[in-house]
Amino acid sequence: MIKLFYICTVKKILFAVLLVSVFKSYSQSSDQIKLCFAMQGNSFSTDNMADQALNKILSVTGLSKRFVLAPCSEISNCLAISYKGIRYILFDKEFMKQISSSGSNWTNLSILAHEVGHHINGHTIDVVMYSDEVVDRPDLESFRKMELEADEFSGFVMAKLGASLEQATAAVMIMSNDDDDTYSTHPKRSKRIKSIKAGYANGSTQVIPKKYETVNKRVSVEQIFNMAENKKNQNDYVGAINAYSRAISMKPDYSYAYNNRGFLKYQLKDFRGAISDYSTVIKIDPTYPVPYYNRGLAKSKIKDFNGALIDYNNAIKLKPDYAIAYNNRGNVKFNLKNYRGAIMDYSYAIKFKSKGPSKIFTNRGVSKELIGDLKGACKDWSVAARLGNRNAQKWILEQCK
């Protein structure tokens, strides 16, 4: 057994991705949001009252519910964010408790509508993208513009829901002032009231404005995939795995992301985790040979040689000149003491010009030795020796005449 050499090159499939080249610092607030998520884990209990209020808002816009309402006590009132590609409206439970299902509390309802407006207008870039410095944070002027757009949407919703203009503007009257807004993310009160009024006028007269129909997807799943690739190239495998997980949460049938995450788990010696990811790839697309090959390799690592054999068989069935798969299947057969089978597979690997020929000749030589064909073994080792294999050179001196 000690003479056997594995070729452990796992092929990786790559996807054409957008190039992300922006790296800038981010403010503290996204950290706080992340902390909030970290504290809560992934199970967000939805406040029923807030949920009803959200449904109400969406009902007048004709939009389907593409948001998750999540309680978060770390924030002062209400916040629209995107996380791992999912749009959330975070709310302080105490604050949102006041939103009654009967809709009598217009002030809070308008605040929630404002947050929905941020999502509708595509303002919410994934916080992960900020914190990973993949995308630029908008400048203050852009922030203020976004606030006005959200206010306009809020005014629109309020009108649709039958609020008076006074009720629609009440929240902004309480929460903002008319100080100079040059250094603020939020515009001054007079500008905000103007935007609410504009939205209110639309809501009173028109059908749903076209701009509310689609939610802008500024951060694509491909960008996150690309981010994962960058992390992998910087040898940050754990970070890359997390990024692939994000891509997967955005696109659950993203087979490339599963495959590459499996590859990284394999590198980190999490062979069972790798097997699980490759299995998902195979489930999504059973016609692609690489994941079978990759899974076979991971199964070999946990000494599931019979399982590995089946995977290599499938890989070779799908790609009959899959040279390195022949080599690895040869190794599996060797481990199962099927030396003749191994010799055949090594021969195919050589025929189809697999990588690492010196190791394959060496392995075939060892297999030949074990079936008593020392002459054949020496012949293979001499080829391997000429290709520079030190062990083969040594064995020739020791065993071959």
Residues at the interface with Zn ion (CB under 5 A): 147, 150
Structure tokens at 293: 């090959």
Structure tokens at 263: 């590859």
* Cα 208 to Cα 365: distance, rounded to the nearest angstrom: 75
C-alpha dist (Å) from residue 6 to 265, 329, 357, 383: 19, 10, 12, 18
Q: In whole angstroms, how close is the CB of 118 to Zn ion at the nearest point?
A: 6
Considering the complex, state which of residue 150 and residue 377 has its C-beta at the smaller distance from Zn ion: 150
Considering the complex, state which of residue 147 and residue 345 has its C-beta at the smaller distance from Zn ion: 147
Considering the complex, state which of residue 150 and residue 219 has its C-beta at the smaller distance from Zn ion: 150
Considering the complex, state which of residue 147 and residue 277 has its C-beta at the smaller distance from Zn ion: 147
* Cα 362 to Cα 344: distance, rounded to the nearest angstrom: 14
Sequence-ordered list of residues with C-beta below 8 angstroms from that of 210, at least 6 positions apart, any chain:
none
Are the C-beta atoms of 344 and 319 separated by less than 8 Å? no
Q: In whole angstroms, how close is the CB of 57 to Zn ion at the nearest point?
A: 15
Beta partners for residue 126, in sequence order = 82
Q: In whole angstroms, how close is the CB of 189 to Zn ion at the nearest point?
A: 14
CA-nearest of 391, 334, 394, 332 to 358 is 391
Q: In whole angstroms, how close is the CB of 80 to Zn ion at the nearest point?
A: 7
Considering the complex, state which of residue 154 and residue 367 has its C-beta at the smaller distance from Zn ion: 154
Q: In whole angstroms, how close is the CB of 51 to Zn ion at the nearest point?
A: 20
Q: In whole angstroms, how close is the CB of 111 to Zn ion at the nearest point?
A: 9
Helices of type H across 99-139: 106-120, 127-131
Q: In whole angstroms, how close is the CB of 151 to Zn ion at the nearest point?
A: 8
Considering the complex, state which of residue 147 and residue 229 has its C-beta at the smaller distance from Zn ion: 147
Considering the complex, state which of residue 81 and residue 315 has its C-beta at the smaller distance from Zn ion: 81
* Cα 394 to Cα 361: distance, rounded to the nearest angstrom: 14
Residue 246's CB: how many other CB atoms inside 10 A? 25
* Cα 396 to Cα 390: distance, rounded to the nearest angstrom: 10
